Chain A
């Protein structure tokens, strides 16, 4: 097992945006994702290990290919995060408005992403799911907004069940990513630069200013 690293990354199309859905366990990440991709609401609550989907859609009249990674909410899988957090170009941090615990985890996830990306800001959207369960709500809207404000990220409340704000969440993140990548003067921030590249290619990354 000498440090072999496999750089063959499947699906290396240039324009793929990698959206990662993160959040606590059972908050509806999969439901949200599947609602977005396949337009139906999954009733079962089977825990996800890691699912990935691709979808092509028009956002602001630009075609984009999305690769959406639906992740496990359990802390136990946290090392995997390392991997997908590093490769994600945009993140949806999902919590359930009915679950205080999941809300508490938001901050930690945000911090994690920022640190891994080594940026203070990154395309991230805070998503409060299960907004339909108003009577079971444990996280007030203003609390979530407050937190989002503090983290300087947008907040959306949605319901995977009612398909409320689902597309919006994903489209918004796409816009954010685009804007971010534009700002970075890196037209497409794809994961293909993970490949061993020649120095010339590395230049692209020069504008990452670190410390």
Chain B
């Protein structure tokens, strides 16, 4: 609650100082740059280059990518502003372009969301919505954390002002237009994209040129004022990254804030976004009821708001990954709580009541206040994920006070021990309210006065809750299970259908469909299941009517992938209906004796409602998630193949209407469309609306059943055809151009698999086992046994983690640099579009992962093998620039190489063996492998050395990569001078004179010269190949990102590819291979194996080379930003981390 207060405070200030702030804001932009650049120097050319490179990628990147990239872009852009080198003409030209692009962005923003709030605020502004943005910063609990800021954008309906606080603006304006062509590699456009960031704010203030001119001045000025106490900031603003300073001087920020009101708020808001990530428990979603801002989550003391549930899920997932990259390699426990606060009774009938829910003293949710009917009915459900281990739930019952009194009265509380809720299905019961002292005395008085009323009935609350604590084993352990499911889902579901009790069916289906989704099998799975069910039915009319695994799967699937669609389609409408108290009751019997005019009025209202709803549904056809459309299309095709095409419509309509849209209209609170359970009146209205729509979807007319609804037949008649069209459209694959990316839902595969394992354990009777003895499903038992065994084993036994002691983050800004094994390259590897996916797929398919251990997941986790114990500290500044200066990176990487070599070696050996085994298989698919490796292979002479390499860990690979990336940083010179080569210009243009340590620099770049760039990559200017070094060939980035053409390497910032993306960035994969997924998978696996092999070899080489250079470690500026960038692009894993951190602060 306090955060809300904090929030408004700055808002007021902002309002008063609106104009002034606007000016400041520009200063802040500059500052922002500073923070963005956090741990590297502003002048670093590499930075700029990286940023530039990133920009196009950001454009291309939907959702998360955009967010991450935009930060970088901004930083770069700002930097550019400061650089005289930059031609003004360029800027001007760009402005034009920028505007256009930006507009586009706003227009097209609906579908492709960028995860950050910035995007949101900008968008909403453009849409003439009023956006109030406030930034609040808190000191982090930890001393190390100097300050954090959070901006919450709140839409205030009443006000007409558009207040943008400086920091927010700074964050808010750059939106990366999703519409941009990802493959756009032309220099001009890249530059333009950078400027776009800047142009937006300018446009808003409408004094572009002036502002621009005075920008530098303003910067100085403002900063000076704001940071009077932090002298380093103004003059050396750009030379010294604020973040670092903050680190070393944690107290300063606090004092600053203490003595300065808004200024300090503004300034610090983006000065540092360091977030302590040492504890996963510090991250959890915030229920809308306590924030008044939907889709928030909390990290430490900071709250972040997302635009949709899906978006939030992504953010949280990525953050969690960042916090514990090894998550999927460890045993972990996932706690979640599902709780319905249903109703209360025995309460005196006065005023309104509400409940607050605290889990172990932390407020998690609050119901709306409801007046007493016969009971007080809330009917609200809350779901909390990612909970820490808690002991008890406390529901406090409050009576709302008169508006004049300040405090609501605490009536009493209910304490529920978690252990009471641990059963598999929700526990629902009445809990007696423990009256608080005060209240009980009050009631005593009341009863003494003769009002026995309330005391007659024991005050109690009906609560339904389920506490789910899932022990998740390392993902690898589930390989066999997952495989089993993937290949035998149909059989399995059919066998389980009769034995699963109804309640479990839903849970089981939910988990199952999620796993399938994760494995990219959802379409097949659903189609097979539904078809099988149809085949079983004797009566076609009953098609899809019951509650079966198939229907439940379909339902869960829709909830999973189409939540954003639903929100987009119906939220506003539902809000309208719920906000309106007018009844549209059309049943004369319910109306009683009222004049017919009332009936007419109600009918008109109902008709209008229905028409609006239907229009909304029709108009959002394009938003139907692609994958859902695919499911429908597949079903249609299969039914047609069976000459039962006429049923296709029934199935589709039963899915989307009966199972999704209509329930959402009827119970919007269950679908998170509104928080509150609709009042009786509203519920009735919604019922009537849903009924009409369902009738339309049934293609049946009113009459017979409910004569009073017959007047709606005109509507049904009229829209009949459009319903046909709608159903056809959503089931026609080619036409459904839904936002695919945004539909990507987050699935915690480990958790779902673990759940499935437990369901199976429960229902897989010896009888079933017997039945399946010699069939594939016979394995179930064995698999379950294995799982049980793995569960008993200690963590380390399951997963060999040699590097447990390593601190995780490469973002380490802290003075003491930890030598960390960095496997970021792994992620990078993933991020390469085809390979990455393949890898992921392979992984999820289990086999590759198991054997290779190099599969993405493996790499990912192992790469980061950061014990969760060690705090991973991420500064978003680091993240901000996708291309972070690699001073530390490089050095640390090198160090690490040495330190890690031992275990790496061990690791490698094991892996190598496995890889080799794998190889023969791999060769089968030449085409795909070729594609993937084109760049790579050509450059890698040392391939043969792979097997005997002493150590090739992803870490080393990464290091190598980061050191010199021909593509990004054409050479050591990149930082210092602008190379003559025209192609390079784009990147180097921005290069600022870096305070490099020449020696270090030199050294690091040497390798660069050596390496040949892959054919499609731009040759580095100094690309003479030195034979000796060439053999080590460690650096060429392209290789790491082998398949990537230059553009793709540049344009696809790996940053963007947040974890979920790796796993199901399925565009390529899905589209191409969906139909024969198995084959595709095999290919992927092979590709993956090849690449892994190659990479491993490279790593070895790199490592060797690095070993020699260990002494240079100390140098801070060993590397150019460019190289770092390259590294970034390669390492997708890294990306997510940084990026998410970076973006979030908004």
Contacts and interface: CB of A to CB of B under 8 A. Distances in A.
Contacts of A203: 452-453, 456
Contact of A115 (B429, B453, B578, B669): B429
B545 A83 contact: no
Contact of B546 (A8, A26, A42): A26
B370 A3 contact: yes
A3 B1091 CA distance: 59
A186 B1067 CA distance: 64
A76 interface: yes
A5 B541 contact: no
A53 B706 CA distance: 8
Enumerate the 6 nearest inter-chain pairs by beta-carbon distance, A residue then B residue, closest first: A199-B453, A26-B545, A45-B541, A10-B590, A6-B681, A79-B667
Interface in A33-58: 34, 38, 40, 42, 44-54
Nearest to B680: A6
B659 to A, nearest CB: 5
Given A2-B368, A54-B589, A193-B374, A80 B546 contact: no
A116 B343 CA distance: 9
A121 B551 CA distance: 32
Given A49-B687, A74-B663, A5 B371 contact: yes
8 contacts: A6-B581, A10-B589, A26-B546, A47-B698, A50-B666, A77-B667, A79-B667, A196-B371
B695 interface: yes
A48 B154 CA distance: 39
Interface stretch (A97-105, A142-150, A154-162): A97-105
A7 B374 CA distance: 10
Interface string B745-781: 0000000000000000000000000000000000000
A99 B589 CA distance: 35
A80 B666 contact: yes
Nearest to A200: B453
Nearest to B430: A118
B546 A24 contact: yes
Given A25-B545, A196-B371, A210-B430, A118 B462 contact: yes
Contacts of A202: 349, 453-454, 456-457
Given A101-B502, A194-B374, A210-B346, A6 B682 contact: yes
A210 B452 contact: no
Contacts of A108: 502-503
A195 B372 CA distance: 8
A3 B354 contact: yes
Interface in A1-41: 1-11, 24-26, 30, 34, 38, 40
Nearest to A190: B374
Nearest to B682: A6
B912 interface: no
A47 B349 contact: no
B591 A10 contact: yes
B676 interface: yes
Between A9, A70, A191, the greatest number of chain B beta carbons within 10 A of the residue's beta carbon is seen for: A9
A12 B963 CA distance: 80
Contacts of A46: 694-695, 698, 700
A136 interface: yes
B462 A116 contact: yes
A197 interface: yes
B1133 interface: no
Interface residues of B, number: 89
B96 interface: no
A5 B348 CA distance: 16
A6 B591 CA distance: 15
Contacts of B428: 112, 115
A25 B381 CA distance: 24
A86 interface: yes
Interface string B699-724: 01000111000000000000000000
B454 to A, nearest CB: 7
B609 to A, nearest CB: 14
A211 B460 contact: yes
B454 A199 contact: yes
B592 A10 contact: yes
Given A3-B368, A79-B669, A115-B462, A47 B542 contact: no
A75 interface: yes
Contacts of B381: 79
Kindly name the residue among B430, B502, B578, B698 whose own CB sees the greatest number of chain A CB atoms within 10 A.
B502
Given A102-B546, A210-B460, A50 B374 contact: no
Contact of A76 (B452, B581, B658, B674): B658
A206 B454 CA distance: 9
B1 interface: no
A74 to B, nearest CB: 6
Contacts of A63: none
A162 B660 CA distance: 34
A76 B659 contact: yes
A49 B692 CA distance: 9
Contacts of A44: 541, 700
Contacts of B497: 101
A73 B545 contact: yes
A13 B463 CA distance: 31
A68 to B, nearest CB: 11
Contacts of A198: 349
B342 A82 contact: yes
B679 A4 contact: yes
Contacts of B368: 1-3
A195 B706 CA distance: 27
B46 interface: no
A50 B669 CA distance: 18
A42 B545 contact: no
Nearest to A10: B590
Contacts of A70: 705
A179 interface: no
Given A7-B680, A47-B698, A74-B659, A2 B369 contact: yes
Nearest to B558: A76
B275 to A, nearest CB: 34
B547 A101 contact: yes
B372 A196 contact: yes
A199 B462 contact: no
B429 A25 contact: no
Nearest to B707: A38
A37 to B, nearest CB: 9
Contacts of A101: 497, 502, 546-548
Nearest to B700: A46
Contacts of B690: 49
- Most chain B CB within 10 A, of A51, A76, A78, is at A76
Given A46-B695, A196-B372, A5 B498 contact: no
Interface in A70-124: 70, 73-80, 82-83, 86, 99-102, 104-105, 108, 112, 115-116, 118
A80 B545 contact: no
Interface string B654-673: 10001110110011011000
B795 to A, nearest CB: 38
B184 interface: no
Contact of A7 (B373, B503, B666): B373
Contacts of B371: 3-5, 7, 196
Given A50-B691, A74-B547, A203-B452, 4 more contacts: A8-B583, A8-B681, A45-B541, A74-B659
A5 B373 contact: yes
Interface string B580-592: 0101010101111
A44 B458 CA distance: 47
A205 interface: yes
A47 B658 contact: yes
B791 to A, nearest CB: 30
Interface in B532-557: 538-539, 541-542, 545-548, 551-552, 555
Nearest to B546: A25
A48 B691 CA distance: 8
B673 to A, nearest CB: 12
B547 A25 contact: yes
A124 to B, nearest CB: 17
